[in-house]
Amino acid sequence: MKRMKQKEWLAGEFCCPVCRGKNIEQGNYWDSFRYERVCEDCGTEFDELYEPVGYKITKKGEDV
């Protein structure tokens, strides 16, 4: 099977970009911007990447 393109992966349900399996586990490392994922179906390891796009104030403090 052909590997998914980035836009296809982002638009679809979370799955392995290689085999499209849904049996995904968290890998050994993560930080604020990426999470290691492991597909239990085909053994592919991949990083799920995040990019900061800004902020949203959800509650103002008393001092502001």
pLDDT tens per residue across span 15-59: 999 999 999 999 888 888 899 999 999 999 999 998 888 988 899
Domain count, the chain: 1
- The answer to whether residue 61 sits within a structural domain is no
Expressed as residue numbers, the domain containing 27 is: 6-49
Q: Is pTM beyond 0.85 here?
A: no
Model confidence at 1: pLDDT above 70? no
Burial 34-57 (b: 16+ CB within 10 A, else e): eeebbbeeeebebebeeeeeeeee
- The answer to whether residue 42 sits within a structural domain is yes
pLDDT reported for residue 43: 94
- The answer to whether residue 56 sits within a structural domain is no
- The answer to whether residue 33 sits within a structural domain is yes
* Contacts of 12 by beta carbon, 8 Å cutoff, 6+ apart: 4
- The answer to whether residue 59 sits within a structural domain is no
9 SS3 class: helix
